[in-house]
Amino acid sequence: MDYHQKALNIQKSGSPKAMTAETCVLMGMVKCKIGEFKSALNLYEDSLLVLKNALGEDHSSSWKTMAQIGSLHFELSNYEQSMAILLEAERWQLSSVGEEDRDTLETQALIGRVLSATGQYEMALVKLTDVCEKQRKLFGSKHPTISDTLTYIGECFLDQEGMATEARLQFVECYNMRKEFFASDQIHIAESMVDIIRARSGQPDRALAIYRNAMEVYKEYLSDDHVLIGRLLVFEGDSHAELHDFSTAIERYEQAKSVFSKAFGGECAVDSALVAVNIGKVLLRKCDYDSAKTSFTSALDIYQQILPEGHPKITSALNHLDRVEQEEALCV
C-alpha cells in the first residue's frame, strides 16, 4: 500500500489521469484484501469514472474495475447490485476478449457466487462447474485460481441441506491443490482446513483445534477486525455450542458481531444475520425465549433486506421463530 501511495503522489503531479486511476484501483484491491471494504469501494468507483472518460467503457481497465466493484458489492451483501455490475462487466469481456479469457472466467465465477448466495444453487453449480472446466483447459490441472473456484463450488454445496459430503470433496481437492502453491502457514491453507472441518459435522473438539491454528495464521497477516477473523469466531462459537459451552459460544458470537459491525459499517450483511441466528439458537437452548425471539427477528429483518423472497435462510429464520413460540407455549 505504501508503494502504491508513493506512486500516486508522483502521478498526481503530471501523469495521465488514467494512470493515476489505475494506481487507485490497485490501492482499492489492497484495501479490499485487508477488509476495508468501504474505502476500497470509494477508490474503485472514483477510478471507474475516470477510466471510462479517459479510455472508454470497452477498455480492459474499465471492465476489470467494474468486476472489482461487483466483487466488493458481493462482500457487502449487496447481491442485486453485484449481479447487475458483474453481468455488465461480463458483457464487455465476452465481446472483447472472449469466454475463455482469465478475467472473463473470474467474473463468471463471481456471478456463480452471487447465484449461490441468493439461493439459486442449481444455476450456480452449472456456472461454477463450467468456469472450472474452462480454467483447467486454460491453466492445466492445478492452479491457484482453480482452487478458488473449487472453494466456491464447495460453499454452494455446503449452503444446501444434506450436501456436506459433496462440499467436503471440493474442499479437499482445493486443499490438495493449494498445497502445491502455498506454505502451510499461509492464509489459503488455513482457510481450506477450516472449510474441510466445517463440512464434517460431529467433531467439535477437532474443529476447535483447527480453528485455533487458523486464528494464529489469520492474526499474523490480518487485523483483529478483519471479516475472516469474524467468520472464524462464528465457527468457534458453533463448536462451543455443540459442546454445550454456551457462555463461551455467546462470547465468540458477540466478538464476531463487533467485527462485522465495523467491517460493514453497521449495514445489513449476511454475516451479521448468521451471528444473530446462532445467538438465537443458543438462547433458545437456554430457554431464554424473549431474547431468542429478538435475535431471530433481527436476523430475519436482515435477510429480508438483502435476500430474495423465499430464500432458504428466510424460511429457516421464520422456522426458528415458530419454534420459539412452540417451546415457550410448552413451558406455560
DSSP letters along 242-292, please? HTT-HHHHHHHHHHHHHHHHHHTTT---HHHHHHHHHHHHHHHHTT-HHHH
pLDDT digits (tens, 9 = 90+) for 211-256: 999 999 999 999 999 999 999 999 999 999 999 999 999 999 999 9
Model confidence at 5, in pLDDT bands (50, 70, 90)?
Answer: very low
Contact in structure between 124 and 84 (CB atoms under 8 Å): no
Q: What is the pTM of this model?
A: 0.91
203 contact partners, CB below 8 Å, separation of at least 6 = 197
Average pLDDT, the chain: 91
pLDDT digits (tens, 9 = 90+) for 131-189: 999 999 999 999 999 999 999 999 999 999 999 999 999 999 999 999 999 998 899 99
The percent of residues above 70 in pLDDT, for the chain, comes to: 95
Contact in structure between 167 and 154 (CB atoms under 8 Å): yes
C-alpha cell at 87: 453481468
Give the residue, 22 or 73, on which the prediction is more confident. 73
Query: What's the pLDDT at 1?
Result: 45
Burial class (CB in 10 A: 0-12, 13-18, 19+), 184: exposed
Give the residue, 221 or 32, on which the prediction is more confident. 221
Query: What's the pLDDT at 55?
Result: 87
d(CA 159, CA 329): 31
